[in-house]
Amino acid sequence: MTETKGDPDIDLGAQPSSNTGRTRSLNRRHVPVLATLSLLAFMYGLGVINYEGFDHPQVVLNVFVDNAFLLVVAVGMTFVILTGGIDLSVGAVVALTTTLAATLLEAGWPAGVVLPLALLLGTGLGLSMGAVIHYFKVEPFIATLAGMFLARGLALLIDRNSIPITNEFWVSVAQQRIRFDRGVFISSSVILALVVVLIAAIVLTWTRFGRCVYAIGGNADSALLMGLPVARTRIAVYGISGFCASLGGVIYSFYTLSGYSLHGNGLELDAIAAVVIGGVLLAGGSGYLFGTVLGVLVLGLIQTIITFEGTLSSWWTRIVVGALLFAFIVLQRVVTGVSAVRSGP
């Protein structure tokens, strides 16, 4: 009997010996998410204790405002990692999207044409990489690395300079605020990012496609033997990642009102870090989208604390994120190791 590490609700063969065993398995899967939530609460409490004004509601809302584009990109990365893959092209797709949008808008193209064109470009690139990965048996790392070079090269080919965006629609969306109180607001990009999270959560939790995503990450061969659409699902998750990356690029262009071929440099690593810190197994098959949201908030809160400190270099963000990645990877190994020992051969 093949042992899988996928979600218990979409078990591919292993039957739990008792309800108690099933409950323990569920609790183990919750450990990384609970650890991320505890870390987030600890960091916020630390900030409130040490920095004046840290408890203002806008401080938390600014984490969402400043990281709305990363949240959308991380949602797409979650789908990919849940299948046991990786997507290194997302940062370059963000750059390509902003550069293409800014160039076309500067040339006088209407926003109603530029927006869907930018989203189709990222989606098409993602679907192409997914097809190469599945049908030609290319490792996701290599295929998406090629996609990263392709997207970044196209962005540089279009224009190497930063291009300001003055389109009326773009500027109005960028400046739109949803106010809750005086000095307390969020941008329209945050609403868009939260809608993406909600739709993705529904897809992963309550659709057949979502169950297939978990099943492929748990054991792709078993999923194929059960008649699940492995090819279609695997290609689709890279299409979703490409769409989210291009949408993240659009949101980033709202945030900066510019297009630049060097935008999103290293963003793929931030997205992967957010997903892993959020408790999604790098090997695939287990994790929650809620954990990814928490992971993005952790990264944003680290940046906020360093900003409030004022004496630390921005590179401390990378140092802290690297340490957290090591810690959560070890935690994942401990949790999955315990699971394997209890399950037996």
Please choose, from the candidates 77, 79, 81, the residue with its C-alpha nearest in 3D space to the C-alpha of residue 89: 77
> What is the C-alpha separation between 266 and 146, in angstroms, rounded?
15
Which letter does DSSP use for residue 9 in this model?
G
**Domains in the chain with CATH codes:** 8-343 (1.10.3470)
pLDDT per residue rounded down to tens, the chain (345 residues): 344 444 444 443 333 344 444 444 446 778 889 999 999 999 999 999 999 999 999 999 999 999 999 999 999 999 999 999 999 999 999 999 999 999 999 999 999 999 999 999 999 999 999 999 999 999 999 999 999 999 999 999 999 999 999 999 999 999 999 999 888 999 999 999 999 999 999 999 999 999 999 999 999 989 999 999 999 999 999 999 999 999 999 999 999 999 999 999 999 999 999 999 999 998 888 899 999 999 999 999 999 999 998 887 778 888 889 998 888 888 888 877 654 434 333
> Can you say whether the dihedral through the CA atoms of 9, 12, 14, 15 is positive or negative?
positive
CB atoms within 10 A of CB 226: 14
Give the list of residues 6+ apart from residue 214 with CB closer than 8 angstroms, or none: 6, 7, 10, 82, 204, 285, 286
Tokens describing residue 135 = 């049908």
> What is the C-alpha separation between 314 and 151, in angstroms, rounded?
27
Contact 8, 24 (CB under 8 A): no
Q: Which helix (H) or strand (E) holds 184?
A: strand 184-187
Interior/surface letters 63-93, b for 16+ CB within 10 angstroms, e for the rest: bbbbbbbbbbbbbbbbbbbbbbbbbbbbbbb
Give 259's strand partners.
Answer: 163
> What is the C-alpha separation between 64 and 58, in angstroms, rounded?
10
Scan for tokens 């690029």, then name that residue: 249
Report the predicted TM-score, pTM, of the whole model to 2 decimal places: 0.90
Helix (H, G, I), strand (E, B) or coil at 176: coil
**Which pLDDT score is estimated for 170?**
97
Give 177's strand partners.
Answer: 187
**Which pLDDT score is estimated for 23?**
44
Strands 177-181 and 184-187: antiparallel
Give 179's strand partners.
Answer: 185
**Which pLDDT score is estimated for 337?**
67
